[in-house]
Structures are given as C-alpha cells and as structure tokens.
Structure 1
Amino acid sequence: MNSIPSNRQLWNRISGSYQQKHDAQIGAAPRLWGMYSIPDAQLHALGDVTGKRVLELGCGAGQWSRALAAEGATVVGLDLSEAQLGAAAGATGAARYSLVQGAAEHLPFADGSFDLVFCDFGGLSWAPPHLAVPQAARILRRGGRLVFNVASPWFEACYDEAASRVTTTLQQDYFGLNTIAEGDGATSYQLTYGDWVRVLRGAGLVIDDLIEPRPDLGTPNGYNETDPADWAHRWPAELLWVTHKP
C-alpha cells in the first residue's frame, strides 16, 4: 500500500490550520513530547545532542528541529509536505537547520549519515513501520540512536470514531490495527507491542527502553478528547521507544 500521495495531500491541506492550533503548544519550550507536552528532562529519552548529526522524521513546522539546533546539533528536518516545510522555512531560527522533502519509507540519505534519528508523532506514525524503521536503521551510524514517540495501541483501540474521543471501552481489535484511515485516502499506522519489537529487532536495532509517558493529573491533551479526562494518567496513551544500532 502506497499512502505517500494521499498523506502528502492531507498534510498540504491541513498544515495551516494544524500549525495555527498547535504551534504554541509544540514550541512552548524545548523538547516537549507528545499529546501532553511532557518534558524530555522528565523522560530522559534523547540525551545530549551537542555536536551530533540529527534527523527529524516528519519535522512539521520545525519546532523540535529548531530546539535541537539551538543546543548545538547539526539538524536536518524531513517532511513529506511542501506546506509543512514552508512553515518550517518561514519560522524564526530556520537558518539553523536544513530542510529536505521526502518520505520516511524512502529516506534520501547515505548509509551511516546520522547519530540520531527521532520523531514525535512524525514519520513513524505516517509511514509503514516495516519500511520506515529499516530505513532509519540504515542511515544511522554504529552506536547511533533511533528515538520516537507514537500513540499506544490501547489508545487507538479505545478511540470511538462516532464520538470523536478516546473512551474506556474497546472499540476495535488490538490485533490487526496496522492501518488507520484518516480520511481522503490518507493513512496512519499502528502496531501492537509485539509487532513493534519484531520490527525494531528485525532492523538490527537494540531496544534500550520503552517509556510510557504518564502526564500528571489535570494535564490537558492538546490533540484528542478523552473520557475520562485523566485517561492517560491511568492507561498508556503513548509509547516512546529508545533504541540504538550496535
């Protein structure tokens, strides 16, 4: 299944409204992960990036890329969408990093090009993981790290499409989630815990940690309605994988 054209079209169409709604949250401070903006200082996922060559898979308007470039990393932001790249190029501080248009499942970089490949609900949510993860592993140097945050399969399995919210009731099967229709032919992707492990290990990566970010009580979800409001404090909403290439 080639979801690249439809996903590109979707993000070109919604980029402006998405950034208008979420830019302040994503860029509120450096290194904020996921739907609940949990600081990396609390989760300890990325580590020191000073002097490292870093690729962000699905950089959007470049909020993460700008932050890591300001810390002394040499950053490349990759995105499928021209509109998203335009937002990144027009942002203050854009001169600090490079921008490349491309798809996570067909990375236009040489083997061993990067010390760190990462994304926060980026390329590994919008590209087939069995294609994108081996590509990320290929362009990592030995000892390089792949760190990425995606929705938990339980969050997806409890999403009630009719109510447009996450509930405490299973709405779809856990097994076989795989592809999620996003409208207009666009597709996002999800795996079970076991399938993520198999894809990562199959690409030759070592799993160092699986962080399940847990927001404090009262922390709002900036992207989805949940019922109850403290859903992610009680069950895992996100999976933050920390891996390296031996």
Structure 2
Amino acid sequence: MDSIPANRRLWNQISSAYQHEHDPQIGAAPRLWGMYSIPDEHLNALGDVTGKRVLELGCGAGQWSGALVAEGADVVGIDLSEAQLAAAARAMGAARYPLVQGAAEHLPFADDSFDLVFCDFGGLSWAPPHLAVPQAARVLRRGGRLVFNVASPWFEACYDETAARVTTTLQKDYFGLNTIAEDDGAISYQLTYGGWVRVLRGAGLVIDDLIEPRPDAATPNGYNETDPPDWGHRWPAELLWVTHKP
C-alpha cells in the first residue's frame, strides 16, 4: 500500500493548524519527547550529539532539529510535507540546517551517512515500518543509532473513535492494528511489541533499550483526551526504542 500521496496531502493541509496548536508545547524546551513532553534528560535516550551527523525522520517545523544544531550536531531534516518544511524554514534562527523533502521509506541518502537517525512521532509513525526501518539502518554508519518514539499499541487499542478519546476499554484487536485510517485517506502505522522487535532485528539492528515514558499523574496529554486523565501514568502510552547498527 502506497500511503505517501495521501499522507503528504494530509500534512500539507493540516500543517498550519497543527503548528499553531502544538508548537508552544513541542518547542517549549529542547529535547521533549512525545505526547507528554517528557524531557530527554529524564529518559537518557538520545545521548550526546556534539559533532555527530544526525537525520530527523519527519522533522515537522524543526523543533528538535533546531535544538540539536544548537548543541553542535550536523543535522539534516527530512519531511514528506512541503508545508511542514516551510514551517521549519521560517522557524530557523542562527541554527540553520538542510531540509529535504522526501519519504522515510525511500530515503535519498547514501549508505553509511549518519551517526544518529531519530524521530518523535515522525517518519516511523507515518511510513510502513518494514520499509522505513531498513532504510534508516542503511543510512546509519556502523555503530550509529536509531532512536524513535511511537505510540504504544495499547494506547491505540484503547482509543474510542466514537468518543474521540482513549479509555480503559479495549476497542481494537491488538493483533489487528497494523494500519490506522486517518483523515482524507491518510494512513499511520502501528505494530505490536513483537512486530517492532522483528522489524528492528530484521534490519540488522541491535535493541539496546525499550523505554516506556511515564509522565507524572498530573501531566496532561497534549494531543489526545484520555479517560482517566492520568491514563499515561498508569499504562504505557508510548514506546521509545533505542537501537544501534553493529
């Protein structure tokens, strides 16, 4: 299934509204992960990026990329959406970096090009993982790391489409998630825990850690309504995978 045209169209349509709503949260401070904006310093997932060549898959408006450039990384941001890249270009200050229009499942970079490939609900949520993960592994240098944050399958399985919120009741089959229908024919992707392990190992990557970011009970979800409000404190809402290429 080729989801590129519909996903590109969706993000071009919603980019402005998305950035207006979420930029204050995403860009509130450097290195904030996921729906609950948990600081990387609490999770220790990304590590020191000084002097490293870094690729962000699905850079959006560049909140992450700009922060890593400021830390001394040599960053390239890639995104499927021209509108998202335009937002990143507008947001650039002194910390400038290249922006590339492209898809995570067809990376336009040479083998062994990067020390770190990462995303936070970016390319590995909006591209088929069985295609995008091998591409990320291909462009990594030996010893390079793939670090990415995606929704937990339990979060998606408990999402009540009618009520438009996450509840404590299973709504979908765990083993039937795979593709998630979004607006206007767009598709996002979801794997089981075992599915991620197989895709990562199949691409030749070593899994170093699986972090399940746990917000404080009072921390709100910045993207979804949850019932109860402390859902993410009680159950894993996200999976933060830390891997490397041996």
Tell me whether 1:13 sits opposite 2:13 in the alignment.
yes
The size of the alignment, in residue pairs, is 246
Q: Deviations over 1:21-78 (max 9, x none)?
A: 0001000000000000000000000000000000000000000000000000000000
Contact 1:74 1:97 in 2 (8 A): yes
Which segment drifts farther, 138-147 or 84-93?
A: 84-93
Contact 1:210 1:239 in 2 (8 A): yes
CA RMSD of aligned residues (A): 0.7
Contact 1:11 1:84 in 2 (8 A): yes
Question: % of aligned pairs identical?
Answer: 87
Three-state SS of the structure 1 residue aligned to 2:126 is coil
Tell me whether 1:173 sits opposite 2:151 in the alignment.
no
Three-state SS of the structure 2 residue aligned to 1:90 is helix
Q: Deviations over 1:190-242 (max 9, x none)?
A: 00000000000000000000000000110010000000000000000000000
- 1:99 is matched with which residue? 99
- 1:121 is matched with which residue? 121
**Amino acid aligned to 1:228:** P
Contact 1:88 1:94 in 2 (8 A): no
CA-CA distance at 1:92 after TM superposition: 3.5
- 1:215 is matched with which residue? 215
**Amino acid aligned to 1:55:** L
Q: In structure 2, what is the Cα distance between the partners aligned to 1:94 and 1:26?
A: 19
Three-state SS of the structure 2 residue aligned to 1:201 is helix
Q: In structure 1, what is the Cα distance between the partners aligned to 2:13 and 2:222?
A: 20
Contact 1:211 1:241 in 2 (8 A): yes
- 2:131 is matched with which residue? 131
* Larger helix proportion of the pair: 2
Matches within 5 A, 1:78-97: 78-93=78-93, 96-97=96-97
Contact 1:68 1:75 in 2 (8 A): yes
CA-CA distance at 1:124 after TM superposition: 0.1
Matches within 5 A, 1:1-246: 1-93=1-93, 96-246=96-246
Three-state SS of the structure 2 residue aligned to 1:208 is strand
CA-CA distance at 1:96 after TM superposition: 1.9
Contact 2:147 2:241 in 1 (8 A): yes
TM-score (norm 2): 0.99
CA-CA distance at 1:183 after TM superposition: 1.7
Q: In structure 2, what is the Cα distance between the partners aligned to 1:199 and 1:154?
A: 19
Q: In structure 1, what is the Cα distance between the partners aligned to 2:144 and 2:37?
A: 25
Gaps of 5+ in 1: none
Q: In structure 2, what is the Cα distance between the partners aligned to 1:168 and 1:94?
A: 45
**Amino acid aligned to 2:134:** P
Contact 2:69 2:95 in 1 (8 A): no
CA-CA distance at 1:176 after TM superposition: 2.0
4+ aligned runs moved over 3 Å, structure 1: none
Q: In structure 1, what is the Cα distance between the partners aligned to 2:141 and 2:41?
A: 25
